[in-house]
Structure 1
């Protein structure tokens, strides 16, 4: 694969995101608004590079 194709593929991929409850630390699925473990509403989303 030519270098330009590799760079384009890298730049076009979405950044991975981790979502977790701020109260108990449980990892939750993207788009979840309430923690299934503690029913907390504060969900933190981190972009991982």
Structure 2
């Protein structure tokens, strides 16, 4: 997520336009989608790291 456009361009097959698109997508501040257990369909709640 911290790579520059020039660094992304160094990846074989990635041109400047693609690198700019990748950098823009990674920099977006959209909230992450909730995690879903695909076996049960249950939405997995994120905790604050503390123990219950």
| TM superposition score normalised by structure 1 | 0.30
Larger radius of gyration: 2
Considering fraction of residues, name the structure with more strand: 1
More relative contact order in 1 or in 2 (CA 8 Å, sep 6+)?
Answer: 1
| TM superposition score normalised by structure 2 | 0.29
